[in-house]
A = this chain, B = another copy of it.
Amino acid sequence: MNAEDTQKMADLLKALGEFNRLSLVYRLCDCQTPQNAMCLCDCCSVDASVVSRHLKVLAEEGVVQFEKKGREKTYSLNKSEIAQTLRNLADKIEGGDE
């Protein structure tokens, strides 16, 4: 495993490894439709600006994607991509590629 890929994986895990960000991810798990940021604010008891920044981190790491709709931004999980990445890590840890 080269350093670049290791860093990328670490960055993803770090993005997921914060309480409020993970809460946002869990919240999005339960939504069938994309949600705007104000709606997502409900799941963590922090300022809206904080939620905005956490969503930005998640978007930068490819965990969520968003669409701009008027003055709203609607977010959804990149479910299959993130799930696949986590499963690949699980496989590697369990020794599936040796």
Binding site for B on A (CB under 8 A): 1, 3, 6-7, 9-19, 21-23, 25-26, 29-30, 77, 79-80, 82-84, 86-87, 89-95, 98
Contact = CB atoms under 8 A, between A and B. Distances in A.
28 contacts: A3-B19, A6-B19, A6-B22, A6-B23, A7-B19, A10-B17, A10-B18, A10-B19, A13-B14, A13-B16, A13-B22, A14-B14, A14-B17, A14-B18, A16-B17, A25-B93, A29-B92, A77-B93, A79-B95, A82-B93, A83-B90, A83-B91, A83-B93, A83-B94, A84-B90, A86-B87, A86-B90, A90-B90
Count copies of this chain in the complex: 2
Contacts of A30: 98
